Structure 1
């Protein structure tokens, strides 16, 4: 385990200032997950930890648009497993695909996401990939921000395997 990963991600991604959140609420702190994904060394460290979490029988790595794509690409490079890029909604032109890459029918797809809080995008991708014939049972994520001890994706039978949790990031922040 990369012992300093939580502290390094927290130091780079936790911003202070005045921010408007998606909910419309105002906050003095914001976690910008794209800052770790844009840093090649930090992204590599996250991907290495994620490799350890992959089920052995994974056929395809399904990176979710947008944040899961760079992580899935890096994990693919480290493992030699093909990547699949999963859109939020199927494109309305050309191939009209939801998932770009190899055919998913009958294959075990491990989803790759950057941050999970409520799991909405992962839930939608899981349902769509299953409709296309994929076997989807696990999502690996860089950061699980859902409440401790809760699986926000239990309703779709998906196991969440995080590299880091919100508690670990908060602990790294406080130095305890």
Structure 2
């Protein structure tokens, strides 16, 4: 496994573990992780033994911020982040994932988990702009995992928000 794939796996693994923990504390019907794979990233089992797929991704402001936060660049991130650009990046990320799955026939429901990596914008900032967030047709849920200026992770479904 290459360093990049190993790092990607670790990021995805952390995100899905946080997601399952918060989901199980917040919603009826417990989820368990059944299989880790390439597409979708995870197969989840619900308490009623139904299965669903979960594609996992991370939202960075842009590729430079991702490289800096992941320790792949020594550059300073001295640009001013805007919420408008963050929403644009979020929408492009959702559309990219939608393109991957639009023609794949899955035998179960598929959800998207987006872990927000922004050190500036949290859950409440994105929810203020929920009407501007792209709503794809291939995902049953778009789970958004984010913080709001503290260490507590928050979870919401952007399709229901």
* Shorter-chain TM band: 0.3 to 0.5
TM-score, normalization: structure 2?
0.38
TM-score (norm 1): 0.36
